[in-house]
Structure 1
Amino acid sequence: MLDTLIPHFQMVSDSSFTLQELHGHKERKSTGTGHTLCHICVPCSEGEISNTTDSDLCQKCPDSEWPNEEKDACMPKSEDFLSIENDMLAVIFSFTSVIFSIITISIIGIFIFYQNTPIVKANNRNLSFILLITLKMSLFSVFLFLGRPADLTCKLRQVFFGIIFTVALSSVLAKTIVVCIAFKATEPGSEFRKWVGSKLAYSVVLICSSVQVLHAIIWLSNSPPFQELDMDSFPGTIIIQCNEGSVLAFYLMLGYMGLLAGVSFILAFMVRTLPDTFNEAKYITFSMFLFCSVWICAIPAYLSSKGKHIVSVEIFAILASVIGILSCMFFRKCYNILLRPEINTRKHMLSTKS
């Protein structure tokens, strides 16, 4: 009887050893379907380890750790976020933000130096300065989205970007309204003449921006953004990201900016062909069309992304929007100011109108 059992136990032992060699990591015993003394070795389940051979049970790793390749020890999970040190995309975003910040500062310098010329004065130079400064600050807001998220940066990034960009769009809207009223005021007996002036433009910027500021205060008071650790989306990886706190508040912020851009686009489109030497309505039309197109395309990509890819989509949308507004509204003006000074004179403006 013993002679018949010994070969059987040897076979199980050898088979068990072979399976361990085959899998290359620790395993646990599993009761076979035949003789009660027999067992086979099976790999530990995902997220579990066994540091002893022929163990009956595997041990589950803590939430912040993950098994190594041999599944005999738990190792800290890798952390995933958009880092300047490790992600080339973050470096590209940073470089782009810095370059266009320098370009924006250069445009501000040009407008200050030529502030008394017709091109700069034609469509309210003070609104142009407000718009340029807010675009520069929007470019700097990109750096709030880079690096390891924390509760403070999570609260600042969306609120800061939302308020600053709202001021920029309010300036564009004010410019558009000024252009519309200026043409209406030229009609004999027009009641729009009493609205001509800088007070209306500043009022538009102040009122439209105040709505977003009030929204931001309510957002931060009731359900502010916070740091979130996503340990389940990708095995072995902790995704460090920002939870917006209130998804509704986030999309209300974007929706309000879209409303301002849409109204500016419609008004500018209506007066884009009216005759004037320095009518910038057509530039506003192109810039707001580009702004709306970028964010309409970005939202589906934002919803279908996770982790640092969500951040990348939003940064790309911010950069594309700012670059689009700069390109459409200021590059041609700077070209005319610097390279075509003969048209930047009052004499040329009067001769063109006549």
Structure 2
Amino acid sequence: MDQCMKCPESHYANTEKKQCLQKVVSFLDYKDPLGMSLTTVALCFSVLTALVLGLFVKNRDTPIVKANNRTLSYTLLVTLTICFLCTFLFIGCLNTTACMLQQITFGGAFTVALATVLAKAITVVIAFKVTFPNRVVRWLIISKAPNFIIPICTLIYLVLCAIWLGTSPPFLDQDAHSEHGHIIIMCNKGSAFAFHGVLGYLCSLALGSYTMAFLSRNLPDTFNEAKFLSFSMLVFFCVWVTFLPVYHSTKGKVMVAMEVFSILASSAALLGFIFAPKCYIILIRPEKNSLHHIRNRSHSRRNNPLKT
């Protein structure tokens, strides 16, 4: 040809380089195999979490539910349900509002979940490890002072979120270069510093929860969940530390799918490691979920102090 023209970003050249063709608009859709798989997993875990919550409410007066603070357990289960459901904001046709809700909902739900785990771990440490006078320990437990960690941590997150939205909020963006012949519709995080700051805040909460749970992992309390808390926080921390390099090395729909997978994996870790042992005792070994069993174990320890 005597004169050549470059195709606009919304088009691409055909094989013969004779004309420009319209690029196909693409996003992580529910109908895609990847989107359908993530949607199915998120829906299954949401239903499973709701069933666990119903099981705990039904058995709310049993020792295993009462021993680990029913209010915190209910709060954690409700929050995990929201964590699983918030993945639907990442799948399907997007808009500016959905882009902002993605990060606000995801970060807020995980902040409440991690703060709840931290409150659980601190309650165990206060009850068995601190050297405060007995009346102070009794006041801390009766007043449920550790529960105030949840609104405090949530308030800190809201401040970080307000700074993020006030400076450079997430917005709807297009990626016309990652896939040939396609325009990927995706959400731009806006301020990369704010996005990584929120992730860093969540990881610091996970690390704090892991530290507190690790300190109380060997306490000889019946139904002590410190070991499960510490292991779930370790898995959570590893998932999000691994997420960052993988996230930055992918593009397009795969990058969005990677974030959704990390949300599902970390939420599933909290649900599985914290609540699966309790559900096992409630459903499979109900004889252990009784005051008679607890009294027998306590009597056994008094007669044999070396037994753990």
- The question of a shared fold, defined as TM-score above 0.5 by the shorter chain, is answered with yes
The letter of the residue matching 2:25 is E
Please tell me whether the aligned partners of residues 184 and 192 of structure 1 are also in contact (alpha carbons under 8 angstroms): no
The aligned residue for residue 221 of structure 2 is 276
Which structure would you say has the larger RCO, counting Cα contacts within 8 Å and 6 or more residues apart? 2
Pairs within 5 Å for 1:1-354: 28=1, 56-85=2-31, 87-184=32-129, 189=134, 191-354=136-299
Deviation of residue 237 (structure 1)?
2.5
Percent identity for Structure 1 against Structure 2 = 45
| Deviation by residue 1:240-297 (Cα, 9 ceiling, x = unmatched) | 2211110011011111110111011011111100101111000101100110111111
The letter of the residue matching 2:218 is T
Q: For the residues of structure 2 that align with 1:172 and 1:189, how far apart are their CA atoms?
A: 24
Question: What SS does the corresponding residue of 1:293 show, helix, strand or coil?
Answer: helix
Deviation of residue 193 (structure 1)?
2.9
Q: For the residues of structure 1 that align with 2:137 and 2:130, how far apart are their CA atoms?
A: 5
Structure with greater proportional helix content: 2
Q: For the residues of structure 2 that align with 1:334 and 1:255, how far apart are their CA atoms?
A: 32
Question: What SS does the corresponding residue of 2:186 show, helix, strand or coil?
Answer: strand
Q: For the residues of structure 1 that align with 2:123 and 2:201, how far apart are their CA atoms?
A: 21
Structure 1 unaligned segments of length 5 or more: list them: 1-27, 29-55
Please tell me whether the aligned partners of residues 176 and 267 of structure 1 are also in contact (alpha carbons under 8 angstroms): yes
Please tell me whether the aligned partners of residues 108 and 154 of structure 2 are also in contact (alpha carbons under 8 angstroms): yes
Q: For the residues of structure 2 that align with 1:59 and 1:300, how far apart are their CA atoms?
A: 38
User: How many residues were matched structurally?
Assistant: 299
Q: For the residues of structure 1 that align with 2:240 and 2:247, how far apart are their CA atoms?
A: 10
Q: For the residues of structure 2 that align with 1:300 and 1:285, how far apart are their CA atoms?
A: 24
Q: For the residues of structure 2 that align with 1:279 and 1:95, how far apart are their CA atoms?
A: 33
TM-score, length of structure 1 as denominator length: 0.81
Q: Give the number of the structure whose alpha-carbon radius of gyration is greater.
A: 1
Structure 2 unaligned segments of length 5 or more: list them: 300-308
Question: What SS does the corresponding residue of 1:121 show, helix, strand or coil?
Answer: helix
Deviation of residue 234 (structure 1)?
4.0
Q: For the residues of structure 2 that align with 1:116 and 1:237, how far apart are their CA atoms?
A: 57
Please tell me whether the aligned partners of residues 284 and 328 of structure 1 are also in contact (alpha carbons under 8 angstroms): yes
Give the CA RMSD over aligned residues.
1.7
